Amino acid sequence: MQKLNKQIAQTLIFSGVIAALVLGLQQIEGSESFIHAQIWPILIFSAVLGLIIVGMSHWGVKNLDPQSRTNLFLGTTVLRLIFSMVFIGIVLFRGVEDQIIWVADFFVVYLFYLVFEIYTILSNLRQISG
């Protein structure tokens, strides 16, 4: 498994790339039809959750036996899903304009982070087995 600092750096770089992409897309005229004005809390939530997942995965790989690692990665994915549903519920309950755009933006960001997490897990598994 990669060192914790390297994983944190990768997650922060990925978060920065996503933020730059969103900032660039917001400069396009008419982007308010597909990028919600409240996308920044989504990005912050996803970045913080990504860092928590990195920490949990690092702890699990160091302290759990190899047979339990699959359950660890599945558990962190389920944890990400549960925290995300709670976050969506809280934001929608408190009220947000253009809810459909907000939820669509949330799931786009969620899927980006999920794909990134799977990619890093696969690269880590190659290093562990090789």
Q: What is the pLDDT of residue 76?
A: 87
| In the predicted structure, residue 48 carries a pLDDT above the cut 90 | yes
Burial class (CB in 10 A: 0-12, 13-18, 19+), 7: buried
- Give this prediction's pTM: 0.85
Q: Choose among 48, 102, 119, 49: nearest CA to 80.
A: 49
Query: In whole angstroms, what is the distance from residue 75 CA to residue 57 CA?
Result: 10
Query: Which of the residue ranges 66-70, 76-80, 101-105 would you say has the lowest mean pLDDT?
Result: 66-70
- State the pLDDT confidence band at 1, using cuts at 50, 70 and 90: very low
Q: What is the pLDDT of residue 39?
A: 93
Query: In whole angstroms, what is the distance from residue 91 CA to residue 102 CA?
Result: 10
